[in-house]
């Protein structure tokens, strides 16, 4: 452990309460501590760290390591943002009895993570208040945990429709209004059940993961280190660079690959350009959700040159395919740098005009101010990230807190608002666009010359663990990589920013009017991903036909398998 880490405040707090832990802490990657604890102790340390020391719960990583050590592993990842530190608490659980005490009653942010650990690997969170199925499909066979190593990525399981998780019962006297399974304004699958008392929302239930694509399974059983970034970039239609960058950076940290500075700067520039076009897209969509389509049209017009810019630099407007372990594939030529400066000058000018108009537009304010309140306390408790957290006065930003790429040399200014409502979240994004433009210019000025790819001589070392958090436009994207022997990760875990933010929605829409629900859900920039069932209308006969689940499954299999 480095001397600086030993000085940190959280470590003193932790060792005061748990004196044994000091001997178990290891720091392989700077800023990332790993401790292997017995399973009785892990929940205690997690609860203490979150509730007494102010740690932020990030995610759990469940690993099937039976082929190596004969047991299961579970890691709870915590972040001490102010002290720029990650803490991984790991426990090994016997293969015949993989149980661990749930921390969710005291750490609500762990709710989904623990349910997912059960669904995917079969680690039972004992005492979980809501142990319903989360990630697996409704008809997935019970007792099968697909991320265990005995199942292949293409194993086809029998359908058992009786396993659908029970729905939350609505409170007495309330009406249920379903939104979904295809979310109307975002064109993505998500299924909210709202419990209404008149016009007011008194509760909600969420079912999602309709488009689970099993990328983690592919990453640790099929693809090699340099193929994973191309799958990672397709996790999201917007944050492609974010996910591939987080993955390669985690591998590089684990294997101590020295990435050339120029490559780091190129990653940074692409990430910031991505943030600019994502925020412009979001502000447009927010306008669209509240039926103010002028904002949508104008912001998407302003956004388009940024997309062309990405195409100019990397070759494609989306799925840039830019990152590989060790560096980047496409250099930014001096001409391309000039193009970036020129386009950004125009974008800044045009965006400023829009912001000037929007900030004094009372009709917009009437729909956004004091709507969808997420208090600072709740934002912290539920682990909200990104503009959702920063709009609630929680000053976390991975670019500053856990620097990656070249951000440690750029002096990023966090944009924080204390309004806690949809308007505050909008303001955070508006100001972040200007900040990103400044960062791109600064990065272009500071970018050194030299190679853009590190030389990798031998096979990458196995069984090393590293984390990387990348600040996407929506919040923190977290990737965990444990390296493996056969040129692929042994375990690759990722957590997109919508994962914690979505858990905060129930809190956000409590008490709002039904008409405000779409903008509340839209205000944290959700990213679900395809559809569950479809109703078709035959225009010739006016006959409505609802496809059954089996028919749809057959249709989509025929479509995807050719």
Partner 1 sequence: MFKAKLKEAVICFGAGRVTLKYPFEPSPVPPKFRGKIEFDARKCIACGGCANVCPPRCIVIEDMGEVAKITFNLDRCIQCARCYEVCPEKAIWPTDEFETATPDKSDLKSEMIVWMSTCQRCGRCFETDNAIDKFESKRWRGRGPGEANKHGIFPIKPPIDFSMPGSLVREPEEGQGQ
Select the residue interacting with partner 1 from 7, 69, 152, 446 (CB under 8 A).
Answer: 152
The rounded distance, in Å, linking the Cα atoms of 460 and 441 is 35
Listed in sequence order, the residues at least 6 apart from 315 whose beta carbon sits closer than 8 Å to its beta carbon are 321, 330
The rounded distance, in Å, linking the Cα atoms of 163 and 320 is 40
Binding segment (CB under 8 A) for partner 1, from list 40-48, 267-275, 312-320, 520-528: 312-320
Contact 383, 109 (CB under 8 A): yes
Select the residue interacting with partner 1 from 71, 138, 205, 304 (CB under 8 A).
Answer: 304
User: Binding marks (x or -) toward partner 1, 207..246, rule CB under 8 A?
Assistant: ---------------xxxxxx--xx--x------------
Classify burial at 251, counting beta carbons within 10 Å of its beta carbon; exposed 0-12, middle 13-18, buried 19 or more. buried
Residue 415's H or E segment, with its range, is none
Binding segment (CB under 8 A) for partner 1, from list 386-394, 449-457, 470-478, 539-547: 449-457
Q: Please give the structure tokens belonging to residue 407.
A: 């951000």
Does residue 164 interact with partner 1 by CB under 8 A?
Answer: no
Does residue 23 interact with partner 1 by CB under 8 A?
Answer: no
Contact 461, 325 (CB under 8 A): no
Other C-beta atoms lying within 10 Å of the C-beta of residue 308:
13
Which residue lies nearer to partner 1 by CB, 138 or 222? 222
Does residue 455 interact with partner 1 by CB under 8 A?
Answer: yes
Buried b vs exposed e over 436-467: b needs ≥16 C-beta within 10 Å? Answer: bbbbbbbbbeebeeeebbbebeeebebebbbb
Classify burial at 522, counting beta carbons within 10 Å of its beta carbon; exposed 0-12, middle 13-18, buried 19 or more. buried
User: Binding marks (x or -) toward partner 1, 247..286, rule CB under 8 A?
Assistant: ----------------------------------------
Binding segment (CB under 8 A) for partner 1, from list 50-58, 196-204, 350-358, 404-412: 350-358
Q: How far is the CB of 339 from partner 1 (least distance, A)?
A: 10
Contact 99, 124 (CB under 8 A): yes
3-state secondary structure at position 9: helix
Which residue lies nearer to partner 1 by CB, 219 or 386? 219
The rounded distance, in Å, linking the Cα atoms of 201 and 434 is 36
Q: How far is the CB of 174 from partner 1 (least distance, A)?
A: 37
Q: How far is the CB of 30 from partner 1 (least distance, A)?
A: 24
Q: How far is the CB of 324 from partner 1 (least distance, A)?
A: 8
Does residue 459 interact with partner 1 by CB under 8 A?
Answer: yes
Which residue lies nearer to partner 1 by CB, 323 or 469? 323
Relative to beta strand 535-538, strand 71-80 is unpaired
User: Binding marks (x or -) toward partner 1, 471..500, rule CB under 8 A?
Assistant: ---------------xx-------------
Residue 340 backbone zone (phi > 0: left; psi -120 to 50: alpha; other: beta): alpha
Does residue 297 interact with partner 1 by CB under 8 A?
Answer: yes
Binding segment (CB under 8 A) for partner 1, from list 23-31, 195-203, 326-334, 497-505: 326-334
Does residue 144 interact with partner 1 by CB under 8 A?
Answer: yes
Which residue lies nearer to partner 1 by CB, 105 or 315? 315
Q: Which residues pair with 475 in a beta bridge?
A: 472
Does residue 321 interact with partner 1 by CB under 8 A?
Answer: yes
Q: Which residues pair with 61 in a beta bridge?
A: 75
Residue 269 CA neighbour count, 13 Å, CB half: 31
Which residue lies nearer to partner 1 by CB, 227 or 513? 227
Binding residues (CB under 8 A) for partner 1: these are 144, 148, 150-152, 154-158, 222-227, 230-231, 234, 294, 297-298, 301, 304, 308, 311-316, 319, 321, 325-326, 329-330, 350, 353-354, 356-358, 360-363, 455-460, 486-487, 561-562
């Amino acid at each position: 452990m480095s001397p600086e880490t030993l000085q940190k405040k959280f470590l003193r707090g932790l060792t005061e309460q748990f004196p044994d832990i000091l001997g178990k802490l290891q720091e392989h990657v700077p800023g990332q501590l790993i401790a292997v604890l017995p399973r009785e102790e892990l929940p205690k340390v997690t609860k203490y760290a979150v509730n007494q020391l102010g740690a932020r719960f990030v995610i759990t990583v469940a690993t099937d390591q039976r082929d190596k050590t004969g047991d299961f592993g579970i890691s709870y990842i915590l972040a001490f943002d102010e002290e720029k530190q990650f803490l991984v608490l790991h426990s090994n659980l016997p293969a015949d009895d993989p149980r661990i005490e749930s921390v969710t009653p005291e750490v609500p942010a762990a709710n989904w993570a623990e349910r997912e650990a059960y669904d995917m690997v079969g680690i039972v969170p004992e005492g979980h208040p809501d142990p319903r199925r989360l990630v697996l499909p409704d008809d997935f066979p019970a007792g099968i945990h697909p991320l265990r190593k005995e199942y292949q990525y293409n194993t086809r399981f029998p359908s058992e429709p009786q396993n659908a998780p029970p729905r939350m019962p609505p409170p007495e006297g309330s009406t249920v209004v379903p939104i979904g399974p295809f979310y109307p304004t975002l064109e993505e699958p998500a299924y909210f059940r709202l419990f209404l008392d008149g016009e007011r929302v008194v509760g909600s239930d969420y079912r999602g993961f309709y488009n689970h694509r099993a990328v983690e399974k592919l990453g640790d059983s099929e693809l090699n280190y340099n193929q994973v970034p191309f799958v990672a970039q397709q996790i999201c239609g917007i944050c492609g660079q974010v996910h591939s960058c987080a993955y390669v950076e985690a591998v590089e940290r684990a294997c101590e690959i020295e990435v050339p500075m120029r490559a780091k700067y190129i990653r940074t520039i692409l990430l910031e350009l991505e943030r600019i076009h994502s925020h412009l897209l979001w502000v447009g969509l927010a306008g669209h959700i509240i039926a103010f389509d002028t904002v949508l049209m104008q912001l998407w017009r302003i956004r388009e040159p940024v997309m062309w810019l990405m195409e100019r630099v990397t070759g494609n407007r989306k799925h840039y395919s830019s990152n590989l372990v060790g560096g980047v594939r496409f250099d930014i030529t001096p001409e391309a740098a000039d193009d970036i400066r020129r386009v950004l000058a125009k974008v800044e000018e045009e965006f400023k005009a829009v912001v000037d108009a929007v900030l004094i537009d009372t009709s917009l304010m009437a729909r956004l101010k004091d709507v969808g309140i997420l208090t600072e306390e709740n934002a912290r408790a539920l682990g909200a990230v990104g503009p959702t957290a920063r709009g609630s006065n929680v000053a976390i930003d991975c670019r500053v807190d856990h620097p990656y790429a070249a951000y440690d040399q750029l002096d990023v200014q966090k944009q924080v608002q204390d309004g806690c409502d949809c308007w505050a979240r909008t303001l955070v994004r508006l100001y972040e666009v200007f900040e990103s433009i400044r960062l791109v210019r600064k990065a272009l000025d500071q970018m050194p010359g030299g190679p853009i790819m590190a030389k990798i001589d031998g096979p990458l070392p196995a069984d090393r663990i590293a984390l990387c958090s990348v600040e996407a436009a929506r919040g923190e994207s977290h990737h965990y990589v444990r390296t493996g022997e056969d040129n692929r990760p042994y375990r690759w875990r990722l957590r997109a920013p919508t994962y914690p933010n979505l858990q905060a929605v129930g809190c956000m829409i409590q008490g709002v009017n039904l008409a405000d629900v779409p903008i509340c859900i839209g205000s944290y920039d959700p990213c679900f991903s395809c559809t569950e069932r479809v109703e078709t209308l035959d225009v010739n006969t006016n006959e409505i036909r609802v496809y059954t689940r089996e028919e749809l499954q057959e249709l989509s299999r025929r479509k995807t398998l050719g």
